[in-house]
Amino acid sequence: MTTTSPPGGENELIKSLKRQLAVSQAEAHLHLKEVRRFNFIISEITEAAEGGIFMRQNLAGDYMYISEQLAEILGYGDIGMPPSYRQFLEQIHPEDLDRAMAMAEAKEEPDWDVENDAPTRNKTAFAESVLDLPSAKPIPRNIFTTGAGAHLEFRYLNQLNEYRWFRASAKRYQPEGEPEQIIGLIIDINDVKVLEEQRRAVNEELKAFMYSVAHDLRAPVRHIASFAEALREEPDASAEDRTTYLHYVEQSASKLAKMIDGLLMLSRNQREEPKIVPVNIEEMLDQIISGTRQTERQAAELIIEQDAFPIIYTDAGLIEQVLQNLLSNAIKYSSNRQRAVVRINYYLQEGQHVISFSDNGIGFDPAYADKLFQLFSRLYAADDIPGTGVGLASVHRIMRNLGGSIEADGKLGKGATFTLRLPVKVGASSAF
């Protein structure tokens, strides 16, 4: 016996299926809309946090999702980053990677069963896609530690071959029937790290500064007190002895006054904001050389040679102090020669003005080069070469204030060279 569908039955079935398809399409569209909204929210949140997202879908595999925003933050926005955990680790600074590996090994976080809130071992990982499959090669230890307050700070190498500081915060979870996963946020903390390092350096310098002030200012004060006491306790001393005592008192007072003046100048140079203007270095050097030849102790024959200089954009008052100090030192420390030669060189290198002062004077032991720029530090007795030990310390701080640097090179008995490096200001001309 055969049965036949009632008239129009197939049409009703088709209509029903079409209604169900329309509902499914509407639900899918709604879900897609929610996914897009969720992605937008995540993107906005990470952008507001100035961070980027990463995800490791299976800790046994090499796949690592790196968002476009994270690639941009890490310095690879132009070329993107491959989704590889191994390649991600290769760009981390070796010191930071070793530290992260050691911390991860010490912590040895177990796989975590989120549903039961308990650690679990040997949980079978179910791979839903080829990206979730375990790697054929051993995967390096997971460095993204999780938990409250667990952060990983590291330096990462960017396209420009420069290391910048970043901080990673991660969360570990394991969806039912899926491999354990880690999702995290990485933010740029380079500016914070630089400020921390600067603050640490300033604190160390302040400690050394306070020690130098307390230690070195005590000497002339002690001399003044000692000879003043000698004058008081020896009222019948001869006129010659009293003159000698007064001479030492005056000498110590003069030295103390110069040291205090140097400290005031040093403090003023550190507080002032540089006023960047075009400076004619050649004209400035001509005036400095003329004045120094008349006032500084010098050799019987003094030859000063100098290169041509472009107009340099810097602080006129501060750079004049630097040039004056270095020229005075070159002349003063070569004054024991019958024929002293001071050479002032200039060249442009990698966006920096490089100025050097070389002399054929008494030089210094390279082992003590780091002491040259310390406050009140002198390598020679005041009787041999007069000075307070403030000049080079002030030069060092001025150069740092100008965004530049100074370095010293020399050999005992064979002269010295002091080299200045000043950044070329953007938009400034370096034409002669």
Residue 379 in tokens:
């390598």
How distant is the alpha carbon of residue 260 from its chain centre?
32
- For residue 255, is pLDDT > 50? yes
Q: How confident is the model at residue 263 (pLDDT cuts 50, 70, 90)?
A: low
Residue 295 in tokens:
């006032």
Average of per-residue pLDDT across 240-244: 82
First vs last Cα of the chain: how many Å apart? 110
With contact defined as beta carbons under 8 Å apart, do 276 and 236 qualify?
Answer: no
For the chain, give the mean pLDDT. 77
- For residue 30, is pLDDT > 90? no
Cα distance between residue 140 and residue 83, in whole Å:
15
- For residue 190, is pLDDT > 90? yes
- In this predicted structure, what is the pLDDT of residue 149? 67
Encode 350-382: b = buried (16+ Cβ within 10 Å), e = exposed.
Answer: eeebebbbbbbbbbbeeeeeeebbbbbbbbeee
Residue 115 has φ and ψ, to the nearest 5°, of -65, -40
- In this predicted structure, what is the pLDDT of residue 9? 63
Q: How confident is the model at residue 268 (pLDDT cuts 50, 70, 90)?
A: low
- For residue 89, is pLDDT > 90? yes
- The per-residue pLDDT for range 38-57, each reduced to its tens digit, is 555 555 555 555 678 898 88
Q: What percent of the chain has pLDDT over 70?
A: 72
With contact defined as beta carbons under 8 Å apart, do 402 and 269 qualify?
Answer: no
Cα distance between residue 225 and residue 247, in whole Å:
13
- For residue 410, is pLDDT > 60? yes
Cα distance between residue 39 and residue 45, in whole Å:
10
What is 201-232 written as a DSSP string? HHHHHHHHHHHHHHHHTHHHHHHHHHHHHHHH
Q: For the chain, what's the residue count? A: 432
Q: What percent of the chain has pLDDT over 90?
A: 22
- The per-residue pLDDT for range 296-350, each reduced to its tens digit, is 667 778 888 999 999 999 988 889 889 988 998 888 888 888 888 999 999 998 8
- For residue 3, is pLDDT > 50? yes
Indicate the SS3 state at residue 236.
coil
- The per-residue pLDDT for range 272-296, each reduced to its tens digit, is 678 889 999 999 998 888 887 776 6
Of the ranges 121-130, 179-188, 216-225, 363-372, which one carries the lowest mean pLDDT score? 121-130
With contact defined as beta carbons under 8 Å apart, do 66 and 81 qualify?
Answer: yes
Helix-, strand-, coil-residue percentages of the chain, each rounded to 5: 45, 20, 35
- In this predicted structure, what is the pLDDT of residue 68? 87
**Which stretch of DSSP H or E encloses residue 356?**
strand 352-359
- In this predicted structure, what is the pLDDT of residue 157? 95
- In this predicted structure, what is the pLDDT of residue 347? 92
- In this predicted structure, what is the pLDDT of residue 31? 63
With contact defined as beta carbons under 8 Å apart, do 370 and 241 qualify?
Answer: no
DSSP assigned state of 311: E
Cα distance between residue 183 and residue 33, in whole Å:
23
Q: CB atoms < 10 A from the CB of 262, how many?
A: 19
- For residue 109, is pLDDT > 70? no
With contact defined as beta carbons under 8 Å apart, do 86 and 140 qualify?
Answer: yes
With contact defined as beta carbons under 8 Å apart, do 61 and 139 qualify?
Answer: yes
Residue 223 has φ and ψ, to the nearest 5°, of -65, -45
Sign of the alpha-carbon dihedral angle for 78, 79, 84, 85: negative
All structural domains of the chain: 32-188 (3.30.450.20), 190-271 (1.10.287.130), 273-432 (3.30.565.10)
Cα dihedral 188, 189, 195, 201 in deg (nearest 10): -120
- In this predicted structure, what is the pLDDT of residue 376? 58
CA dist list (Å): 282 to 11, 44, 223: 98, 54, 44
The owner of tokens 């530690």 is: 145
Of the ranges 14-18, 153-157, 263-267, 376-380, which one carries the lowest mean pLDDT score? 376-380
- For residue 161, is pLDDT > 50? yes
Cα distance between residue 138 and residue 339, in whole Å:
70
- In this predicted structure, what is the pLDDT of residue 309? 92
Average of per-residue pLDDT across 365-375: 75
- In this predicted structure, what is the pLDDT of residue 323? 92
- In this predicted structure, what is the pLDDT of residue 296? 66
- In this predicted structure, what is the pLDDT of residue 381? 47
Among 347, 325, 321, 324, which residue's Cα sits nearest to residue 424?
A: 347
Average of per-residue pLDDT across 19-47: 66
Indicate the SS3 state at residue 200.
helix
Q: How confident is the model at residue 154 (pLDDT cuts 50, 70, 90)?
A: very high
Residue at 114: amino acid letter: V
Average of per-residue pLDDT across 178-199: 87
- For residue 126, is pLDDT > 60? no
Please tell me which residue, 263 or 223, carries the higher pLDDT value.
Answer: 223
Q: How confident is the model at residue 222 (pLDDT cuts 50, 70, 90)?
A: confident
Of the ranges 152-156, 172-176, 360-364, which one carries the lowest mean pLDDT score? 172-176
Cα distance between residue 146 and residue 116, in whole Å:
18
Indicate the SS3 state at residue 313.
strand
Indicate the SS3 state at residue 53.
strand
- In this predicted structure, what is the pLDDT of residue 7? 56
Backbone region of residue 326 per phi and psi (left: phi > 0; alpha: psi in -120 to 50; beta: other values) = alpha
- In this predicted structure, what is the pLDDT of residue 95? 94
Please tell me which residue, 247 or 137, carries the higher pLDDT value.
Answer: 247
With contact defined as beta carbons under 8 Å apart, do 383 and 354 qualify?
Answer: no
Please tell me which residue, 187 or 215, carries the higher pLDDT value.
Answer: 187
- In this predicted structure, what is the pLDDT of residue 270? 59
